[in-house]
Amino acid sequence: MRKLSRTNRRFLMRLYEQFWILGRLRTQEGLGILAHRMPAKVVKALPGIRLYAPCNVLGEVISLPCNGEVLIVLHYELESLPQRVVNYVVAHEFAHVVLGHYGADFQYADSSLKHNDKPEEVATDRLVASWGYAASDHPMANDSEAMRREAQEEDRRVWEEVEAERQGRGGVSTDGPAGS
């Protein structure tokens, strides 16, 4: 992975300063990958951004009229999805901001179309692809049960790596995650 520019490093640190992100390891990783892939000139042009966790969709962008900042909503359920899908959702929501898909003046051109067929969603996915994300990582391109199994397998591998490292240092053994 390439070294972060000063602009992108500051961008990432501002996002990480938001306290709720600390317990969201997959979301943190997704933000880190985005900071490496998003061009610095795009980062410089972003409005102020706040991240928020709970909602009933995986991601959403909302304009904050009081101060001109943009609120990106990232659902806690992202933590139960594979890292590649989390990375995509995080990038997708930031792409909506870059393309100006938020605020009181924004409306989908054709609300009769299915969500992923709307021109604004197609443009967003094109921008995400230009940052190096695979369309196959879009949550709509994946079976939800298969994604949950993949995430559980990722969790199991991480716990095994942590356990192997701990034992290699003579550390105390612990149980893995609940349900493993």
pLDDT, average across residues 64-79: 80
Structural domain contains residue 162: no
Domain that includes residue 53, residue range: 6-141
Structural domain contains residue 179: no
Enter the DSSP assignment of 114. -
pLDDT, average across residues 20-47: 87
C-alpha–C-alpha distance, residues 128 and 44, integer Å: 17
* CATH number for 74: 3.30.2010
C-alpha–C-alpha distance, residues 81 and 180, integer Å: 16
pLDDT at 176 over 70: no
Q: Between these two residues, 68 and 10, which has the higher pLDDT value?
A: 10
pLDDT single digits (tens) 94-152 = 999 999 998 777 877 777 888 788 899 999 999 999 999 999 999 888 888 999 899 99
Query: What are the Cα distances from residue 170, in Å, to 73, 86, 151?
Result: 42, 34, 29
Which pTM does this prediction carry? Answer: 0.76
Structural domain contains residue 91: yes
Number of domains comprising the chain: 1
pLDDT single digits (tens) 150-175 = 999 998 998 898 888 888 876 555 55
C-alpha–C-alpha distance, residues 55 and 136, integer Å: 24
pLDDT the model gives residue 84 = 95
Structural domain contains residue 132: yes
C-alpha–C-alpha distance, residues 67 and 82, integer Å: 34
Judge whether 116 and 139 are in contact, CB under 8 Å.
no
Structural domain contains residue 93: yes
pLDDT the model gives residue 51 = 80
Handedness of CA 79, 99, 39, 42 (dihedral sign): negative
Percentage of the chain beyond pLDDT 90 is 37
pLDDT the model gives residue 108 = 75
